[in-house]
Chain A
Amino acid sequence: GEEVAQTPKHLVRGEGQKAKLYCAPIKGHSYVFWYQQVLKNEFKFLISFQNENVFDETGMPKERFSAKCLPNSPCSLEIQATKLEDSAVYFCASSQGELGGNQPQHFGDGTRLSIL
């Protein structure tokens, strides 16, 4: 599609439950990025993919967070055993061109995750 599509828009989970977020990148874009926005201002990079391959996962809290980008499927970000501090808006972005190039990242509308 022409836009990055993220689902669901809002997800509510009880502490300790699993949460799964989805992202369909713009058609033709090979690179996908996940960011976490907390407190309405701070963005934290989580992970990037080049097609279905993880490129940079230095921002991922690996003990509970995992992500995949499989062929012909939306990318996903899964959080096991959620904690209150996971409450945030999770943005997915996609871009084309070479990794490290100057192509802008185009963002989805985000998924607001609320942990109760």
Chain B
Amino acid sequence: DAGITQSPRHKVTETGTPVTLRCHQTENHRYMYWYRQDPGHGLRLIHYSYGVKDTDKGEVSDGYSVSRSKTEDFLLTLESATSSQTSVYFCAISLRDVTYEQYFGPGTRLTVT
């Protein structure tokens, strides 16, 4: 257990509203990641962080922003939710900085109506 929690676990929201998903880790790991999982696409990286206030874009970052003001929390914000952002969102951490082995949280199922 890598001590990763995600909140909320399920959310339904309307098109155009802002949404923030939270990833929390208990063990002070440096690297954190946000992915989305969609049928037929597999998991795709949205953003990642390599330290407090250090973030960078992944493969599918348009329409998303992130923040990391504390080591333990990595927030993903959908600035104005669209139906194409309906997905399952997973947070991951890198457990060991040398091997970069990644461990995943339980996921957040987001539906945008």
Whether A associates with B in a native complex is: no
Q: Which residues of A contact B (CB under 8 A)?
A: none
